[in-house]
Structure 1
């Protein structure tokens, strides 16, 4: 969930999204605190500063970082289009979903490069979306 506390991440400050920092450090605030700690730490005789992005690269060296063209959460217009197309029914079990039980699922997971577009989104009930996680699955 994007919030105002991320407003300082504008432009080409980092090639990683705020989600990457939150995944590594737990919360955005903890990431900022870790950054301050790294900047203020003394390492080596030259008191060189530790680069937080280098620290993230080390942890994620085998992980592909995707640059998305769309935001992770669909906008209201896209949600309506998906609900109309899928008929308010979970595409796995077919039950009618309403309120908090409606989950807008990425068929190709966001974490694996899937974009937030009509063709890549489907309605799932909360149970099936949480069980699916970041697996790729399209029902017949």
Structure 2
């Protein structure tokens, strides 16, 4: 397996409900290494640009409104098979069918307010990471 990176967003609900430490601990326990992080309050334009692929869908406007309602925590994780590992920890987008013990099953209110976002493929991860970070803002751990 190759070392890869994935983008993570802790959405407004995670911040409001003070779940960031709990969620971060789950990622670290799964072997994901934090290599980039920032707190952001998205503008409407930033949220629309990030979710451009959903423009025109019935949920687009409410998603943008939710994602701009408060601060979010954006992270980059690195690990062997990081995307699949991350997605296993977060669970299905719909918390009603997410596996017990996943972040979304445990903390999400709905499909839209599902606490976290994660890249779903290497191409998405590359695009999403580049949307929020420059290369010099991501730091792989020093190997000893």
User: Normalising by the residue count of structure 1, what TM-score does the alignment of the two structures yield?
Assistant: 0.26
Q: Which has the higher contact order (CA 8 A, sep 6+)?
A: 2
| Larger Rg belongs to | 1
Kindly indicate which of the two structures has a greater share of residues assigned to strand. 2
